[in-house]
Amino acid sequence: MDGISLLTITVLAVFVGFEVVSKVSSTLHTPLMSGANAIHGIILVGAIIVAGQATHPWVLAVALLAVVLATANLVGGFVVTDRMLEMFRGRKEKPAKPAPGVGAPGVAQPETKENTEATR
Angle separating helix axes 57-88 and 29-52, nearest 10 degrees: 160
Owning domain of residue 41: 29-87
In a domain, 20, yes or no: no
Residue 65: which of 55, 50, 78 has the closest Cα?
A: 50
In a domain, 13, yes or no: no
pLDDT in tens, 20-76: 888 888 778 777 777 888 888 899 999 999 999 999 999 999 999 999 999 998 898
In a domain, 51, yes or no: yes
In a domain, 81, yes or no: yes
In a domain, 40, yes or no: yes
Q: How far apart are alpha carbons 92 and 85 in whole angstroms?
A: 15
Residue 5 has pLDDT above 80, yes or no: yes
Domain count across the chain? 1
Residue 115 has pLDDT above 70, yes or no: no
Q: How far apart are alpha carbons 96 and 79 in whole angstroms?
A: 32
What is the structure's pLDDT at 83?
Answer: 84
Q: How far apart are alpha carbons 75 and 81 in whole angstroms?
A: 10
CB 51 within 8 A of CB 60: yes
Q: How far apart are alpha carbons 107 and 68 in whole angstroms?
A: 55
What is the structure's pLDDT at 40?
Answer: 85
pTM: 0.54
pLDDT in tens, 8-17: 999 999 999 8
Residue 33: which of 93, 80, 1 has the closest Cα?
A: 80
In a domain, 14, yes or no: no
Span 89-106, average pLDDT: 65
Q: Distance from CA of residue 68 to its chain's centroid?
A: 17
Q: Which amino acid does the sequence have at 97?
A: K
